[in-house]
Structure 1
Amino acid sequence: MIGEHVIVGYSNDPGGRDALALGAAITRITGGELTVASIYPPGSPGLAVEAQANLAHAAEELGIVPAEYMAFESRGTGRGLSVLASRIRADLIVLGSASGGQYGRIAVGSAADHLLHRSPEAVMLAPSGYVPPEEPARLTLAYVHRPQCDAAVERVAQAALRLDVPLRLITLDLRTEDQGKLRDDLALAVRLAWESTGLEAESEVAEGHDVPAALKDVEWLPGELLVCAAGEDAQPHRVFLGELAMKVLRSSSCPVTVLPRGFS
């Protein structure tokens, strides 16, 4: 299960503070390590000093929460977080929403876009203004009948079992496919979760003419986490979020985790 070592991409702004709170909440639940990172560009002594100041502010925010703090030089924040995560063997990168987006939703900035298309580690994004609850409530997997999602069913079911929370599998009916086939595929995924873990998953078909409309009437619990599998175009052990999954991410009111292809 992810969360054994979490790295938070921190900046002293609302998105950075949202990511920091979410990363700390994840490690509190998993008992994992927490690293807070501030990335700065090469050849910029002033920005290197600012990165250190950001980390000092993060330490004040976390208080007694145990964490490591690292300023890291890189030409891009997303690239820097990925390289640093690999060096310290983190298994999850947490980012906040980019500035200027809708409150309560995820806006994808350049760093998140980089990670969502090439990160070797799982990536988690927090909606704008997100306040983590004390305990997780449910894991929901956005399901499409394809190998990467079938593999994710087993992994997410194992995580739900370990966290002692319900598992929900949700698929979207955008009125472009046979709904009977979608429900049959979903039933097979529920069976896969049961056969791999003994966990009886909830299932739901969300209907609408587009992704935001389909997700509008879906219930999201406080403490819910939405999981998406990497697309079929992802390289082995890399994240690659397809067009549909990106729309799901942007429409989500809860944190979203994207698993690399072949995640285990």
Structure 2
Amino acid sequence: MIGEHVVVGYTHDSGGRDALALGAAITGVTGGELTVATVYPQESAGRAVEAQANLAHAAEHLGEVPAQYLAFESRGSGRGLSVLASRIRADLIVVGSPPGGPRGRIAIGSTADHLLHLSPEAVMIAPLGYEPVGAPARLTLAYVRRPQADEAVERVAQAALRLGVPMRLITLDLRTEDSGRLRDDLALAVRLAWESTGIEAEAETAEGHDVSAALAGVEWPPGELLVCAASEDAQPHRVFLGEVAMKVLRASSCPVAVLPRGFS
């Protein structure tokens, strides 16, 4: 299960504080390590000092939550977080949504965009204004029948079993595909979850004329966590999301975790 070592990409703004709260909530549940990192440009002594000041603010926000604080030099924040996560063997990178977007929704800034197209580790994004509610209430997997999603079914089922929370499978019906086939695909995924862990997963079809409308018609209680598998176009052991999955992220009202292809 992801969350054994979490890296939070911290910036001194609302998005950074959201990421910090989410990262602390995850390690609070998993008992994993927490590293808070601020990435600054190469060969910039002034920005290095600023990064250290940002980390001091992060430490104030976390209070007594145990964490390691690192300022990391890199050409870009997304690249820097990826490299750092690999070096310290973190299994999850958490970032927030940049200020200015719709509150309660995920916005994709330049850091998240890089991570969602190249990260070797799982990536989790907090919606703007995220408020932690303790342990996850349920794990929901956005399911489309393909090898990466079937692999994710087993991984999410294992995580749900370990956390003692329900699991839900959701597939989008945008009225462009055979609804009967989509329901059959969901039934197979439910069986896969049962065969791999003994969990009886819930299954739901989200219907709408577009992704936003489909997800708006689905219940998202506090404590929900949405999980997406990497696209078929992803390189092995890398995150990559296609157009529809990116729309799912932007329409989500809860944190979203994206698993790399071949996640183990």
> What is the TM-score of this pair, normalised by structure 1?
0.99
Q: CA RMSD in A?
A: 0.5
Structure 1 distance, partners of 2:134, 2:42, is 39
1:248 matched to which residue of 2?
Answer: 248
State the Cα deviation string for residues 77-131 of structure 1 (Å, max 9, x = none).
Answer: 0000000000000000000001221110000001100000010000000000000
2:67 matched to which residue of 1?
Answer: 67
Structure 1 distance, partners of 2:92, 2:215, is 26
1:178 matched to which residue of 2?
Answer: 178
Give the SS at the match of 1:203. strand
2:7 matched to which residue of 1?
Answer: 7
**CA apart distance, 1:190:** 0.3
How many aligned residue pairs are there?
A: 264
Structure 2 distance, partners of 1:192, 1:135, is 25
**CA apart distance, 1:238:** 0.3
**CA apart distance, 1:135:** 1.8
Structure 1 distance, partners of 2:16, 2:228, is 22
Structure 2 distance, partners of 1:7, 1:88, is 9
Q: Trace 1:92-241 onto structure 2 (pairs within 5 A).
A: 92-241=92-241
Structure 1 distance, partners of 2:8, 2:130, is 15
Structure 1 distance, partners of 2:63, 2:214, is 40
Structure 1 distance, partners of 2:208, 2:62, is 41
State the Cα deviation string for residues 195-229 of structure 1 (Å, max 9, x = none).
Answer: 00000000000000100010111001111100000
- Structure 1: 4+ residue segments shifted above 2 A: none
Structure 1 distance, partners of 2:134, 2:179, is 37
Structure 2 unmatched ranges of 5 or more: none
Give the SS at the match of 1:195. helix
Structure 2 distance, partners of 1:256, 1:38, is 21
Amino acid paired to 2:252: S
Structure 1 distance, partners of 2:246, 2:256, is 10
1:19 matched to which residue of 2?
Answer: 19
Give the SS at the match of 2:221. coil
Give the SS at the match of 1:235. coil
Give the SS at the match of 2:36. strand
Structure 1 distance, partners of 2:133, 2:99, is 23
Structure 2 distance, partners of 1:234, 1:188, is 24
Amino acid paired to 2:232: E
Structure 1 unmatched ranges of 5 or more: none
Q: Trace 1:28-39 onto structure 2 (pairs within 5 A).
A: 28-39=28-39
Give the SS at the match of 2:262. coil
Give the SS at the match of 2:184. helix
Structure 1 distance, partners of 2:17, 2:29, is 19
**CA apart distance, 1:44:** 1.3
State the Cα deviation string for residues 25-59 of structure 1 (Å, max 9, x = none).
Answer: 00000000000000000121111100000000000
State the Cα deviation string for residues 170-215 of structure 1 (Å, max 9, x = none).
Answer: 0000001000000000000000000000000000000001000101
Amino acid paired to 1:4: E
